[in-house]
Amino acid sequence: MNQKPMSEDKRSDPADKRSNPVDKMVRAHIWVKGRVQGVGFRAHVEYCARQIGGLTGWVRNVGYNTVEAIAEGERLNVERLIEDMKRGPRSAVVDESKVEWEEPTGEFMQFGVRRSM
């Protein structure tokens, strides 16, 4: 019996139900770790979110080597931002990433940088 290894992105996702359309609004809570501070990472994420369009939420530094973000929007757009965050800007090195899918709240008006924790 072949089993696929479980990755960080394996989750119980309400949007995975077959009856839901691809463009359903979703919310992802994303963390990336590595050399992600002092390299323009938050500005890169904000720029990517605005280029993709239709995304709301925020990005901020957490601790020494972690950037955290929450993004809401259509599933394909959120997934595109997640991939952009896993790559980061040229001078960044992303060693780990984690994504938790949550119910969207619609609480944000735009995507922006938040104050570091």
**Which residues are designated catalytic?**
42, 61
Q: 115: which DSSP letter? A: P
Strand partners, 113: 59
Strand partners, 30: 69, 99
Q: Which of 57, 51, 88, 97 is nearest to 73 (CA)?
A: 57
